[in-house]
A and B are shown apart, each in its own frame.
Chain A
Amino acid sequence: MHQGSSSDDAYWKANLSLIRNILIIWALVSFGFGIILRPLLSGIAVGGTDLGFWFAQQGSIIVFIILIFYYAIRMNAIDRKFGAEE
């Protein structure tokens, strides 16, 4: 528990920047592509509708799954790098 807080600080910074990147993509695919930016994507046809509709009904969910597994894998690596694993 007391392996020096400077390494724990660096570990926490690495975690925070990973979370920041993940949440940017999380917001972009749902609130962005799925809702606010949908008019900009209306030119891209997908099965009788447009890309924004696909993101709102399927794409965002698929991206969410990828994001969580990416986070789990990256965090395992970060845990090991900073000696923070269980």
Chain B
Amino acid sequence: MTTQTLIYLVVGATFALYIGIAIWARAATTGEFYAAGRGVHPVMNGMATAADWMSAASFISMAGLIAFVGYDNSTFLMGWTGGYVLLACLLAPYLRKFGKYTVPEFIGDRFYSQSARIIAVICLIVASVTYVIGQMTGVGVTFARFLQVESSTGLYIGAAIVFAYAVLGGMKGITYTQVAQYIVLITAYTIPAIFISLQLTGVVLPPLGLFSDSVGTGTPLLVVLDQLITDLGFNSYTGHHTNTLNMVLFTMSLMIGTAGLPHVIIRFFTVPKVADARWSAGWALVFIALLYLTAPAVGAMARFNLVNTIQIGEVGSPDGNLAYADVPTWFTTWEQTGLIQWEDKNDDGRIQFYNDKNAAFETQAQEWGWAGNELTVNQDILVLANPEIAALPGWVIALVAAGGLAAALSTAAGLLLAISSAISHDLIKGTINPNISEGGELMAARISMAAAIAVATYLGLNPPGFAAQTVALAFGLAAASIFPALMMGIFFKRINNVGASLGMLAGLLFTVVYIFVYKGWFFLPGTAQFPDTAEYWVFGISPLSIGTVGAIVNFVVAYFVSQATEEPPAEIQELVESIRVPRGAGAAIDH
């Protein structure tokens, strides 16, 4: 059977499974549509949360981010997992006790303010829509590469699948589909990693392989890798080469951004009890860690394989570099997609892959007759091309294709639910028409979901030029506005409506302005005040890391404004006291 047939079979089978689940798990009430009837087992919810959280970025891009930078990009590993500790002890149990359906609803009720609720809705929609664009383009790219259809056709197929289970089943359909998607994506991620770890280190488990000896040398893999790449003028893999303050703030931004992302938070509304919300956060992190502990091994090993493929002999010797005539087939397959590019600058027919930004090394390279780095490799292809680079069988490649699609679709569905519930529950029921019937709200929720899918598909087909930049915005917004508002709502009884609203606005404006100053106003090209490089950043803080400072601004403004204005009414203080104690959570469902 050809690899192509296998890919059709495996991807087709997973899609049939998702549709089957959609038909089985239809939602009959708004409670099922928004929160899966609060009947999801904590382990199951942990698995669904893991699939919800691990997007195309985690599956496709993260190992590449680590591979090409090394230690300094450990920020992604710590940041995208550390947020779950914050969720487990600072947010999830209390929000589950509150027992409502959306994040803006909590903010609106706790701060007894319709405007606070609307600010939260806006933050939620901006953060979620920017995030969903990335998922939809991920679906298109994966289809285009593996199923050899037009990227747009792939996008329509993906949107149709999400439509089937998200519109029919709401949170209930999404939850059970995400459980299936988690199993597909984790299998797809770990199997190639195990093969590669065996090839390079002889150790089965990739996380242990990363710290083991390279096969046949008796020297640790990381030492060999450091040697390989520093010989080519690159920074060492294990060394620290960036600003420490920025690294700390970036990690923190990712942590509090993760804890503040609404599509993750609402997953904890689906479990039966407050105690289950705590367990569920733990299980979610266990399932996430299976991928996150494998990713750094995949990154280091892929970099090792890539450099070894190109640099076949001693650096600088005339036949030390791979001749283009001898490149393996995966090289040419990916060249066709434009994600690998080679330009023979010195016309020797061989590939030179080195760091030409390193001045000292560049002088040396010129003596060898090298005329600059000739190879550019898009970091996103490492995971997708890994099975081909390691010459693994066709069914592994098919599995990786299905895994990439599962990662993108599961996250897209979670985001779309967060968007549609904010529209139907917070805007339509909460603001425009409070007397809407249960059936009417359920219909409104389904229509908002369908509309959200249509908008996401449109944006996936016509991604705004700034799509990649806006991930910073999504995390910045969640970190600077939503996370502090939720945390203060639970832990500081004295924070009132004025304080919370002004705090959110201050955190939001501060963060957005700092990002726009370096990335361009509203991401329009040419409108940036300063170049987005380390010399121009205030105290070396990059726009990606500013969410942490925005959160501090939010806390400070909310605290002092609340002190200067009236304390919250007695019934709000009682509400805060009641969400702090799990007792009576069952009753809260009946609201």
| Chain B, Cβ-Cβ closest to A83 | B583
Note all chain A residues with C-beta closer than 8 A to B580. 8, 11-12, 15
| Binding site secondary structure of chain B | helix
Note all chain A residues with C-beta closer than 8 A to B238. 48-50, 53
Choice from B82, B219, B275 contacting A64 with Cβ under 8 Å: B82
Q: Does B85 contact A (CB under 8 A)?
A: yes
Note all chain B residues with C-beta closer than 8 A to A60. 77-78, 81-82
B285 & A86 in contact (Cβ 8 Å cutoff): no
User: How far apart are the CA atoms of A83 and B582 in the complex, in Å?
Assistant: 10
A8 & B251 in contact (Cβ 8 Å cutoff): no
B85 & A68 in contact (Cβ 8 Å cutoff): yes
B-side interface size class: 35 or more
Chain B CB within 10 A, most for which of A48, A53, A71, A75: A48
User: How far apart are the CA atoms of A72 and B43 in the complex, in Å?
Assistant: 13
User: Smallest distance from the beta carbon of B234 to chain A beta carbons, Å?
Assistant: 16
Q: Does B578 contact A (CB under 8 A)?
A: yes
B88 & A26 in contact (Cβ 8 Å cutoff): no
Note all chain A residues with C-beta closer than 8 A to B89. 18-19, 22-23, 68, 71
Chain A interfacial residues counted at CB < 8 A: 45
B74 & A57 in contact (Cβ 8 Å cutoff): yes
User: Smallest distance from the beta carbon of A34 to chain B beta carbons, Å?
Assistant: 6
Q: Does B64 contact A (CB under 8 A)?
A: no
Q: Does B12 contact A (CB under 8 A)?
A: no
User: How far apart are the CA atoms of A47 and B252 in the complex, in Å?
Assistant: 27
* Given A35-B248, A49-B222, A1:B78 Cβ within 8 A: no
Q: Which 4 A-B pairs have the closest CB atoms?
A: A48-B220, A47-B211, A56-B74, A48-B222
Interface residues of A (CB under 8 A from B): 1, 3, 5, 8, 11-12, 15, 18-19, 22-23, 26, 30-31, 34-36, 38, 46-50, 53-54, 56-58, 60-62, 64-65, 67-69, 71-72, 75-76, 79, 83-86
Interface residues of B (CB under 8 A from A): 66, 71, 74, 77-78, 81-82, 84-85, 88-90, 93, 207, 210-212, 219-224, 226, 238, 240, 244, 247-248, 251-252, 273-275, 278-279, 281-282, 285-286, 289, 292-293, 296, 577-578, 580-586
21 contacts between A and B (CB under 8 A): A1-B583, A26-B85, A34-B78, A35-B247, A35-B248, A47-B222, A48-B211, A48-B220, A48-B223, A48-B238, A58-B293, A60-B82, A61-B77, A61-B293, A68-B85, A69-B279, A75-B275, A75-B278, A84-B582, A86-B585, A86-B586
